[in-house]
Structure 1
Amino acid sequence: MNPESLELLEYERLRSLVGRYVGSEAGRRELGRVEPSMDRAALETGLAEAAEAMAWFKDAAKPKIRGGDTAPRLRFEGLPDVEAAAAKLRIEGVVLDALEISAIVMVLERATEVRLALAPQSQFYPLLAGRAAQIGDFRPALRQISGKILPDGSISDDASVALRRIRRDKERMRGDIQDSLERFLKSHREDGLLQEEFVTIRNERFVVPVIPGAKKKLPGVVHGSSGSGQTLFLEPIETIDLNNDLVRMGEEELREVYRILREMTDHLREHRFEIQGAAETLAALDLIFAKARFAQDFDCVIPRFSPDEAPRLLLKSARHPLLQDVLKRQQKKVVPVSLELDSSRRTLLISGPNTGGKTVAMKTVGLMALMAQSALPVPAEDAEFPIYDDVLADIGDNQSIEQSLSSFSAHVARIKEMVEAATSGALVLLDELGRATDPEEGGALGVAILDEFRQHGAFTLASTHLLALKVYGSNTPGVVNASMGFNEETLEPTYVLRIGAPGKSAGLDISKRLGLPARLIERAHRAMSSTERDIATFLNQLEAKIGEVSAEAEELRKQKADLEAREQKLTKEMEQRERARLREFEQTAAEAQKRFEQQAREAIESALSAPEQRKQVEKVMRQVARTKREFQESVESLAHPEKARKQAPKEEIVEGARVRLRDVSGPARVRKVLNNGLLEVDVGFLKMQVPITEVTEVLKGDAPQSKMLPKGVSLTTGPRWDTLSREVNIIGKHAEEALEEVDRFLDSAYLAGVLRVRVVHGHGMGILRKGVQDLCKAHPNVEKYYPASPSEGGTGATIVELKEN
């Protein structure tokens, strides 16, 4: 990315703002490596990791599905920087000091915490868990080292048996020396040779303070004097050997400490690559969670990247993070920016009042594009960007006395660089285009520059006060005018970006608000040409109309949302009432059926007590069974009317139509419409005649061709059925002949898809009836059978219901 644009858009300040949320020095070093990139896959992965970290914080206090626990707290604050120490481990023979080892131990302990917290959570946070899974298991190594180094960097007595013994001997030797010197002081207390009665240490040896004249009278070694020279520090002759032993023990201690440090260093050296990887992973996770905390505080979202073939720049309620940070401390809110550009509209020309927020709007877009391409969440409600190959900005006054550049010269020089660098994949930001020169020439130059970037295909945002550019924006395809709002009553900018029309500069109005004398304002109004006044008036009216339309549109949007919410609520309430009604109806019907069955059972049991009434009881039982079935069908039809088949209007039935017939599972094709109210139909491979009232539904479309027959194979329909074909009459026939005919009849009815037929066998001696019932009981296509109702022949006929094929 262009370094000057990064500076103009204050990218480094943004990085410092994010740096507030980084806990460790290694994390800050990782943040220092963050820069805008064009690697789509890496950016999407980085943003997905930030999204998971945001979800981690959001879910931190919520029980997880995995077992009811909450997300553990991850600690990165105060994590020591072990980069130098880890580098030393790669050099054979180098021994780390205690503080370096202690720092590495702390890092490994934190790394272990992070691994145990994140690695098992792959179901919820797969990317973070994947990072954590790269951290090795350092628990065995930590058991060898932990506790041997104290917080102050000293080696614990428990680090080795030898060290404990040496230190115990040293302590005992100190006690002996202290006792010896105290006896010395006591014996010479009355000599006047002692300066003070206390024991101190000089050059790591125990001594006592004496006067200068005592040097010749007291045997021993002098180890220096006080600053005034009035005190000498004497090691008496009787303690020299003891002090020598103490020094020797101190050297032994140092050698043992060095041995322990070397042993721990060698142990860590075995894991040097894992240690370096763990430190790098912790630094990366520190930055990822810093992004998430930044996103929490600044109400950020994860931006999307549009496809290269359909680039789109979309911002909804976007806020400049640096401005938001400043205003937040003042307990104020940023006025958000919303805009949309795409492949057909790549240029946005912003006009409007001075101090109205044009520059902030452009800086917001530019900085957010850089943030998105740095895999950082952006403060907005929604955001989508193309992946830009460069961001080119000319913002502010770049005049330089040293380089003899005026404002206009610096402006032109910068634009020259931008034109040379611009591509179709660039984002161009031009503040006050055509400024610092004659308005007419500046306008003409601005139009030429803007059109150059438009022809390059770059996404361009430019701000201006010049009329020529506003006209260009209104008349040029692919260019969109926009304006910053201005309140005519308070003479203050509203900082709201409005898309669709240019705005007026309002320089005189703002000057009046800022306290410029009224006489100057009036003189300036008189100096304006009539054309300029007319244009200003027109823009005022246009802005007022846009405000009205925007307000009406917002009101309509709210009303639409309210209506949709109300409609959903009413629909839900109706569905609930309907379900309650159906439950109540079904419950009432079930209770009625239960009472009916109970009463029927009691009546039947009472009747069975009289043998002469058994035949009549059997008839009643059959009627009860039929009534129960019809009652259930009626309940189902009333409770679920959508399932009930509709009676097909007679006028819809024409030759060739596909229809459904009552008690026939498959569709039928109408061959002829007869004058006597009958239809001749094909049902499967069979042909039959049925009353037109048997039609329950006329089907739409043509019947599907059979997929069962090979090419070139045809079937001929069976014998013609008449209107009585749904029943067979076997009265007067021998049992064997009759049952064979019934068997053929049932097979033919099943093939035709007929679901309900009647077998007429008469009363007689009951031989045919029993034979038909035995046949039905064993027939594979029979679903159930029962005596016919009185209107259908009573016990002289049997109703047979066939299975659906």
Structure 2
Amino acid sequence: MNKINNDELGLDRVRELVASYATTPEAKSLITQMAPKTSLNATTLLLNETAEMVEILQRGLHVPFVSSDSLKPLLQKVSKGLVLSAAELEKVADFIRVNRLLKRFLLRQAQAPILISYGTEIEILTQLEDEIYQKVEHGEVASHADHDLARLRVQVKQINADLKNSLQHLLQSKKYQAALQEKLVVEKDGHYTVPVKANYRKSFPGQVVDVSNHGGTVYMEPTKAANLIARKTQITAQISAIEWQILGMLTAEVFEQLTVIEHNLQIITELDVILARAKYARAIGGTRPDLNTSNELVLREMRHPLLANPVPLSVKIGQPQRGLIITGPNAGGKTITLKTIALSVLMTELGLFLPAEKCQIPVCDHVFSLIGDQQDIDNSLSTFSGEIVKISQIVAQAQKHSLIVLDELGSGTDPNEGSALAIAILQELQLRGCLVIATTHYSAIKDYSVKSPAFMTASMDFDLKKLTPTYKLIMNQAGESRALWIAGRSGMSDRVLKSAAKILKTGELPLAESTVTFKKTIKQASQDLHLHKGDIVFVESLNKEAIFYQKAKTAGKVVVFVEQNFVEVPLKRVRLRRQAKDLYPAGYNLDLLFIKDWQDYKLKKDLNRGSKKAWKKLDE
């Protein structure tokens, strides 16, 4: 099992990229959660699947596939005994049709035996597909699905025509011209009405449905129209009953084949995952990696998959050396090199092709990484302490087929002790047979890598003429950290740089004392932190700003107001940001800063001043 914490290598982002090439939601979800395989056979199978699908795409063939809509919610409805709508049944039929087309397509791919095996597992449900398509059209039950349904729909159509003619005739009739406020039909709550002058309401044949705001107009439904609508409502109810019966019958047939459909969905999802891997391989110009179980890693012109314009990486690690120590300047590409190497292994174990000219990848049972600042404020751990906690876990779990990438191992503490500890850790890991790749600035670690037959050295290239890093890895070379160059580029004074260069060259320490004198002694500032109510402070343990309230009863602690709550925190973790006297005018009521519920505060204030509205609200 691979140990990847906080995705410091970027594997989650790679999975998201691959998932974007999937069609179905089920496949997208599966890809983002997929764990790297840790056996030769499993990884080989994944790569074979990808290779077969890549070859199909390279031949310009179109793989029949389902829409991007998820079928799972529909199948869940069926399993719960709910009736599917006509549109939902049509989606089921579409899925079954694609199953049939995809099976036929895969069985024709003579050069893709694995994909053929997927195709043979797909079960065809032609009868169910035909049954749904015969009785459902364009998202509704087809009229030819039932004789009575067709007859009743014809009647509804005729009623609609009669209703329209009746209303038009009434509007054009001279008999009712004086009674009409306007010549138009207005629908009111399902009733077809005409606007009639209020004083004609008794002489107009119909029923009042609504009255205008001013009362001068009444909306009346003509008697004939009311009779037609009543008849239409009756027939519509009969139509709904027949449609419901047909939908229920079709849903029952889907329920009978639910196990088969769910099995097909699983196969379709797996094929979509393979197709997404193949599309990603084509998009990045990927190459199939060669696998081995002898801990040999060879990358030729490997590009980091998440960078826009990465510098290609070429590296070779294996027999007899199991370790690689990379040196070079800051911002020279050491960390990216570590991530690229680790990602090449993890991507391979996901069945992905690599953006490289050629690559040999060891199948690893674990991939461990130690990259970036390991500081843990919540647990009061420094960078070095956080690093040691994690490296201790790595050492405890590392095995023969483990890949371990370590960035600036041993930093954050005394250089001599840090170097000694780092060398001991590297020695322990290589003795276990692990592949170990580490970056360092420490000379002692560089010397160890040069002298140890188990390690190779490499350096990030540096253009001395242009005084810029090239981000290229040079094998079998121990590089310099270029600290003086970086300091010079950062604006460090020439005198300091010359002094540092002399120290490096001679090893002599500058011991001259300062001749600067002061006229008077400045009193040392008090180390006590004086806080006042309303001061804005930063609380390190919360990593947030808060408002100081008062000292706590517990010694060495204070009470702060943050996110509408009073919290007790250690004083030593509090830093003053802004004083209340600079934020609020003189006489300002600072208690207003610590109100948890403003509505409750306003109600109490209104009650105190005798507000009748407030007392009424309280009674309610």
Say whether the 8 Å CA contact 1:79–1:106 is kept in structure 2.
no
Counterpart Cα distance in 1 of 2:212 and 2:125: 53
SS at the partner of 1:354? coil
1:24 aligns with 2:11: no
Deviations 1:339-386 (A, max 9, x none): 222253211111112111111111111122111222222222222333
Aligned residues of 1:434 and 1:445 also touching (Cα < 8 A): yes
- 5 Å matches for 1:542-553? none
| Equivalent residue number for residue 165 of structure 1 | 151
Change (3 A) 1:164 1:470: same
Partner of residue 265 from structure 2, selected from 268, 279, 293:
279
Deviation for aligned residue 1:313: 2.2
Higher gyration radius (CA)? 1
Is 1:40 the counterpart of 2:40 in the alignment? yes
Structure 2 CA distance for aligned equivalents of residues 304 and 189 of structure 1:
93
Q: In the alignment, which residue of structure 2 is the partner of 1:83?
A: 72
Aligned length: 509
Counterpart among 501, 517, 523 of residue 477 in structure 2: 501
Match of 1:97 in 2: 85
Q: Separation in 2 of the partners of 1:435 and 1:192?
A: 98
Matching of residues 221-620 of structure 1 within 5 Å: 221-224=207-210, 232-307=218-293, 310-323=294-307, 327=308, 333-342=309-318, 344-513=320-489, 516=492, 518=494, 520-530=496-506
Aligned counterparts of 2:233 and 2:300: Cα–Cα separation in 1: 75
- CA distance, structure 1, for counterparts of residue 198 and residue 364 of structure 2: 84
Q: What is the identity, as a one-letter code, of the residue corresponding to 1:315?
A: L
Q: 1:150 and 1:363 mapped to 2: Cα distance?
A: 54
Secondary structure, counterpart of 1:5 in structure 2: coil
- Aligned match of 2:595: none
Return the TM-score normalized by structure 2.
0.76
Are the structure 2 counterparts of residues 170 and 477 from structure 1 closer, same or farther at C-alpha, using a change threshold of 3 Å? same
Q: Which amino acid aligns with 2:316?
A: E
Quick one: which amino acid aligns to residue 429 of structure 1? V
**Distance of aligned partners of 1:233 and 1:382 in 2 relative to their CA distance in 1, 3 Å threshold:** farther
> Corresponding residue for 1:106?
94
1:298 to partner: Cα distance: 1.1
CA contact (8 A) 1:303 1:377 kept: yes
1:720-767 CA distance string (max 9 Å, x none)? xxxxxxxxxxxxxxxxxxxxxxxxxxxxxxxxxxxxxxxxxxxxxxxx
TM-score (norm 1): 0.59
Q: How far, CA to CA, are the matches of 2:275 and 2:311 in structure 1?
A: 28
| AA of the residue aligned to 2:86 | A
Q: 1:133 aligns with which of 120, 123, 143?
A: 120
Contact kept, 8 Å, 2:450 with 2:457, in 1: the verdict is: yes
AA partner of residue 156 (structure 2): K
Shift of 1:498: 1.9
The one of the two structures with greater contact order (alpha-carbon pairs below 8 A, sep at least 6) is 2
Larger helix percent: 1
Which residue of 2 is the match for residue 8 of structure 1? 8
Q: What secondary structure, in the 3-state scheme, does the structure 2 residue paired with 1:240 have? A: helix
Aligned to 2:193: 207
Q: Could you tell me whether the CA contact under 8 Å between 1:430 and 1:463 is conserved in 2?
A: yes
Q: Is the 1:79–1:107 contact (alpha carbons within 8 Å) kept by the matching residues of 2?
A: no
- Alpha-carbon distance between aligned partners in 1 of 2:114 and 2:213, rounded to the nearest angstrom: 66
1:115 to 75, 80, 103: 103
Q: CA deviation at 1:291?
A: 0.6
Contact 1:82 1:100 in 2 (8 A): no
Cα 1:189–1:349, aligned 2, differ >3 Å: closer, same or farther? farther
Q: 1:227 and 1:258 mapped to 2: Cα distance?
A: 42
Which amino acid counterpart does residue 5 of structure 2 have in structure 1? S
- Is the deviation greater in 78-87 or in 357-366? 78-87
Task: Judge conservation of contact 1:317–1:382 (CA < 8 Å) in 2.
Answer: yes
1:211 is displaced (CA, Å) by 4.8
| In 1, Cα distance between equivalents of 2:396 and 2:228 | 84
**Relative to structure 1, is the Cα distance of residues 7 and 229 closer, same or farther in structure 2, using a 3 angstrom cutoff?**
farther
CA–CA distance in 2 between the matches of 1:385 and 1:495? 23
Measured after TM superposition, the shift of residue 215 of structure 1 is: 4.6
Deviates more, 1:520-529 or 1:378-387: 520-529
Partners in 2 of 1:531 and 1:10 — Cα distance?
A: 42
Q: Distance in 1 between matches of 2:495 and 2:104?
A: 75
Partner Cα distance (1:51, 1:4) in 2? 27
Q: Which residue of 1 aligns with 2:130?
A: 143
Aligned counterparts of 2:508 and 2:95: Cα–Cα separation in 1: 70
**Structure 1 residue 188: Cα displacement:** 7.2
Structure-2 separation of matches of 1:53 and 1:229: 74
For 1:127, what is the secondary structure of its paired residue?
helix
Retained in 1: the 8 A contact 2:86–2:141?
Answer: yes
Deviations 1:533-567 (A, max 9, x none): 9xxxxxxxxxxxxxxxxxxxxxxxxxxxxxxxxxx
Residues 64-95 of structure 1: CA deviation (Å, up to 9, x unaligned): xxxxxxx3x1144733211122233345x532
What's the offset of the Cα at 1:505?
0.8
